[in-house]
């Protein structure tokens, strides 16, 4: 039997389980599979791109749930490593505003081994995505930065979404800069900038981030205010579609996946078209509850009509 071709897209990082309190008394909890990079890989697979999540998960019931969900999403399971260690858990004890902490000392994700991935996978990959808390947890973080550097030297395109979380304090600053310098595409939100730079001066924070790598494209998402795409001295703006938001979980992951999908599908396409698709992908992810990967049809339904062209004029 012929083995399946290796994937075109790989997201490397953490897959985890969210334990979410269902009531104010925190007496009833719900578990959901998740993880920033893992979500990006699922979106790409849903859009029809041969994709994989490269990471380590536990062998217990939490890890099995992640493996099963990965299989159902169509991810290449050869890239998932099963490790007999504790699972990585995100305990969300308050939803609005979000309050959470992580449980994962010596957990399975930290034991990921890039050398154990399928032989020759780098030569088949067109994009490899990094981000999330995996880059703030040693020794995994150092291994992933090393992997990103080797991929960059091999000519593989790199995308990076820091996806700020509370554990990304000043110790993360060096990783933020290194990964930005390696990336071809950086996705960042207004909330990310405030947290990563520990400042309310978002314009200065964004300018500093861009100063580290002038060759990268930057997707700057602003929630209901839409997003902008910055390439060199030019930038473009696109508003968010008017939708009834069911849940914003996974919207950022869907937006970067949407941008990467658009870049892969039409490399010579107009930047504004790539941005529109990214914004529509993020909005489409908000139509369902939980981190629900949007379909291509649901994204295309939210793209602007030709008559709205004037609203998307290129800015100087």
Rounded mean pLDDT of the chain?
Answer: 91
Answer yes or no: is pLDDT of 316 > 50: no
- Asked if residue 50 lies in contact with residue 83, where contact means CB atoms within 8 angstroms, the answer is no
Structure tokens at 36: 């920033």
Rounded to 5 degrees, φ, ψ at 195 are: -75, -45
Whole-number pLDDT of residue 157: 97
CA nearest 210: which of 177, 244, 239? 177
pLDDT digits (tens, 9 = 90+) for 49-63: 999 999 999 999 999
Whole-number pLDDT of residue 286: 87
Domain ranges of the chain: 7-110
Distance CA 17, CA 62 (A): 7
Reduced to 3 states, what is the DSSP secondary structure of residue 289? Answer: coil
- Asked if residue 203 lies in contact with residue 197, where contact means CB atoms within 8 angstroms, the answer is no
- Asked if residue 74 lies in contact with residue 97, where contact means CB atoms within 8 angstroms, the answer is no
Answer yes or no: is pLDDT of 186 > 80: yes
pLDDT digits (tens, 9 = 90+) for 126-182: 999 999 999 999 999 999 999 999 999 999 999 999 999 988 999 999 999 999 999
Contacts of 166 (CB under 8 A, 6+ apart): 100, 101, 195
Please give the CATH number for the structural domain made up of 7-110: 3.40.1190.30
Rounded to 5 degrees, φ, ψ at 49 are: -95, 130
What average pLDDT does the segment 247-266 reach? 90
Distance CA 146, CA 140 (A): 10
DSSP 51-79: EEEEEEEESSHHHHHHHHHHHHHT--GGG
Q: CA angle, corner 201, sides to 198 and 203, nearest 5?
A: 120
- Asked if residue 47 lies in contact with residue 257, where contact means CB atoms within 8 angstroms, the answer is yes
Reduced to 3 states, what is the DSSP secondary structure of residue 92? Answer: strand
Q: Where is pLDDT greater, at 87 or 101?
A: 87
Distance CA 149, CA 167 (A): 23
What average pLDDT does the segment 280-308 reach? 83
pLDDT digits (tens, 9 = 90+) for 92-133: 888 777 788 899 999 999 999 999 999 999 999 999 999 999
- Asked if residue 258 lies in contact with residue 269, where contact means CB atoms within 8 angstroms, the answer is no
Alpha-carbon 113 to chain mean position: 20
What average pLDDT does the segment 216-232 reach? 94
- Asked if residue 21 lies in contact with residue 100, where contact means CB atoms within 8 angstroms, the answer is no
């Amino acid at each position: 039997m012929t083995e399946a071709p290796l994937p075109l897209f790989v997201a490397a990082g953490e897959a985890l389980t969210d334990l979410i309190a269902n009531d104010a008394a925190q007496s009833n909890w719900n578990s959901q599979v998740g993880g920033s990079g893992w979500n990006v890989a699922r979106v790409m697979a849903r859009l029809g791109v041969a994709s994989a999540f490269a990471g380590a998960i536990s062998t217990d019931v939490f890890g099995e749930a992640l493996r099963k969900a990965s299989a159902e999403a169509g991810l290449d399971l050869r890239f998932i490593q099963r490790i007999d260690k504790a699972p990585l858990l995100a305990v969300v004890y308050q939803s609005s505003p979000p309050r959470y902490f992580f449980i994962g000392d010596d957990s399975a994700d930290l034991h990921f081994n890039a050398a154990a991935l399928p032989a020759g996978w780098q030569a088949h990959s067109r994009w490899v995505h990094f981000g999330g808390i995996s880059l703030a947890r040693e020794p995994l973080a150092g291994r992933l930065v090393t992997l990103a550097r080797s991929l960059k030297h091999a000519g593989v395109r790199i995308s990076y979404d820091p996806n700020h979380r509370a554990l990304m304090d000043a110790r993360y600053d060096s990783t933020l800069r290194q990964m930005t310098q390696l990336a071809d595409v950086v996705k960042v939100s207004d909330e990310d900038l405030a947290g990563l730079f520990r400042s309310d001066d978002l314009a200065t924070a964004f300018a500093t981030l861009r100063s580290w790598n002038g060759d990268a494209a930057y997707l700057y998402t602003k929630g209901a205010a839409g997003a902008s795409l910055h390439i060199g001295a030019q930038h473009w703006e696109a508003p968010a579609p008017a939708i009834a938001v069911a849940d914003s979980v996974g919207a950022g992951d869907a937006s970067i996946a949407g941008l990467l999908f658009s870049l892969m599908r039409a490399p010579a396409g107009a930047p504004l078209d790539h941005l529109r698709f990214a914004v529509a992908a993020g909005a489409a992810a908000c139509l369902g509850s939980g981190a629900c990967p949007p379909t291509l049809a649901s994204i295309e339904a939210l793209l602007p009509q030709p008559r709205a062209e004037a609203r998307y004029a290129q800015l100087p």
